[in-house]
Copies of this chain bind each other. A is one copy, B any other.
Amino acid sequence: MSARILLAGHGSVGKAFHELVAETGAGKVVGVLRRAGAWLDENGVAPGGTLLAKRQHLSVVEALDKLRPDVFVELTPSNLQTGEPAAGHIRAALERDIPVVTANKGPLLRHFDALTTLARERGVPFRFEGTVGGSIPVMNLHEFCLPGNPVTRVDGILNGTSNYILTRMAEEGLGFAEALKEAQELGYAEADPTADVQGHDAAAKLCILANAVLGVPVRFEDVHREGIQSISAGAIRLAEREGYAIRLIASVDGATKRASVAPRLVPHTSTLNVRGTLNVVRFTTQHAGAFTISGKGAGGKETATAVLSDMLHVLRASR
């Protein structure tokens, strides 16, 4: 029987996930919750269905109680300050023993310990691959591919927008403002680019990585953070001439527990030196040196693949 999915949030990731579920037949979305209302259909809400079908007014808790879905997928807009209301949604599902998948950074950033403890104590699957690195399997690589080989340090480029800006500054000799404007025109940067260029987004992801992969309880406020807004075209030119790129590198060390997001000189030849909107994560391990994985770090469909992969893990586990 097809898995019954309750989906909260229908932005770019939510819509793409909804379409992927329909396309792959991985389950059926029996409820969609948006700010504008709730769409329920036991036969499956079609991806475009929320534009047409009858709307109800239901809270997330009411929908969880009414539908008792096989999995709850939390993709509402992220709030990095409080993690709410997503954290409340996730808590409500876990308390009802309903497995949860999310790509929402806020609740993991602000309530990592409380939520993962609740899930563990109740034995309910709770997965959040999509919170870090978009499509790149970071959490699952750690969980499934490195047993017996502890990760001691994580470094990476976790924000595609700032990496795009730095790449274009180097390629075209643009200044920061010009490159930012280009990124905004192409839809890579938001009208208010603060979260991307000042490193807030990367710092939030780094905290989740530190907690999930290293077991180090780094909080957002603990991260030493510098953005890229004061990097000049001249500084980039100088670095490039000597064989280096300037990259916004997020790092956390398991031994010192120090975490930082800051512009760094990265040799052109380094596996960390990815370009454009790519993200990259390097795990340093105890027994086998470093692994580096890169891929598309953002985008609705890309992040939706991470959510889908988590959902398939949940369904496998509960079979």
Contacts and interface: CB of A to CB of B under 8 A. Distances in A.
B20 A309 contact: no
Contacts of A292: 293-295
Nearest to A301: B287
Contacts of A48: none
A52 interface: no
Interface residues of A, number: 42
A81 interface: no
Interface of A: 20, 24, 26, 134-137, 140-141, 143-149, 268-269, 271, 274-275, 278, 285, 287-296, 301-302, 304-305, 308-309, 311-313
A308 B288 CA distance: 12
Contacts of A290: 295
A309 B148 CA distance: 6
Nearest to A143: B144
A149 B275 contact: no
Q: Is the interface of A mostly helix, strand, loop or mixed?
A: mixed
Contacts of A137: 141, 145-146, 291
Given A309-B148, A309-B149, A294 B291 contact: yes
A305 B285 contact: yes
8 contacts: A24-B148, A137-B141, A148-B311, A287-B301, A287-B304, A288-B305, A292-B295, A293-B293
Given A292-B293, A293-B294, 9 more contacts: A20-B148, A134-B288, A137-B141, A147-B313, A148-B312, A271-B274, A271-B294, A289-B295, A292-B295
